[in-house]
Copies of this chain bind each other. A is one copy, B any other.
Amino acid sequence: MSPTILVVEDEPEIRHFLRSSLGAEGYRVVESPNGRRGEVDAGMHKPDLAIVDLGLPDFDGIQVIRHIREWSTMPIIVLSARIQERSKIDALDSGADDYITKPFGVGELLARVRVALRHAAQPPAGKELSFGEVQINFEARRATRDGEEIHFTAIEFRLLACLAKHLGMVVTHRQLLQEVWGPTHAQDTHYLRVYMKQLRDKLEPDPVRPRYLLTETGVGYRLVADD
């Protein structure tokens, strides 16, 4: 079943451009001409991805994003004019996942859409993952270390799964918080500090000098398997 994409855009020209570009790729497209309709359509159609213009006539696209983020983690891509630098950043902070600056080409649009959908849809990449003496089976939700079973709490495991899904890549604080605690806790970074410590105590040979579960100061964390 092809993914559904919600397009919230007031200018008919751009909206039709989006519809035909995305439609040609096989996506199903739902169009909303303003913010109010956008929110309703988001709730009704439960799309796999939303593309939201920041310069909407009735109310700010950021409002739409905030409201959607209250109940959904669907990927949101923001459209912004070159002038709206500031609100672009606000949008990302409000929970948008990516942005495209107008004017933009079909190639760029489709590339961003693919990335966003891939990130959202992916089940924990492989079913197995191992590093050092640790082995994790995501399907069975179990892990062993030196053959001994390790126990994870629900949150610990979700956090680990989220990191493993993006193995080797940095996962931002916001992504982790959003994925594990939901959109309402996207700024409670102290949760991460506590749980990273617990994961390290369970996974790392020397928890004080992490080798697999690495910190990216000011950005997020990342999990790396051995070389």
Using CB atoms, name the residue of chain B closest to A167: B140
Let me know if A12 is at the binding interface, CB within 8 A: no
**Given A86-B182, A217-B153: A124 in contact with B103 (beta carbons within 8 A):** no
Please indicate the chain B residues that have their CB under 8 angstroms from the CB of A168 in the complex. 140, 142
Contacting B at CB under 8 A, from A1-50, are none
**Does the CB pair A154–B103 fall under 8 Å?**
no
**Does the CB pair B217–A154 fall under 8 Å?**
yes
Describe A's contact surface by its main secondary structure. loop
Please indicate the chain B residues that have their CB under 8 angstroms from the CB of A154 in the complex. 216-219
Select A72's contact among B70, B85, B86, B103, beta carbons within 8 Å. Answer: B103
A-B contact pairs, 17 of them (CB 8 A): A69-B82, A69-B103, A85-B182, A85-B183, A86-B183, A89-B182, A107-B125, A108-B125, A111-B124, A111-B125, A140-B169, A140-B170, A140-B222, A141-B222, A154-B217, A154-B219, A157-B219
Q: What residues of chain A have their CB less than 8 Å away from a CB belonging to chain B?
A: 69-73, 82, 85-86, 89, 95, 103-105, 107-108, 111-112, 115, 123-125, 139-142, 153-154, 157, 168-170, 178-179, 182-183, 216-219, 222
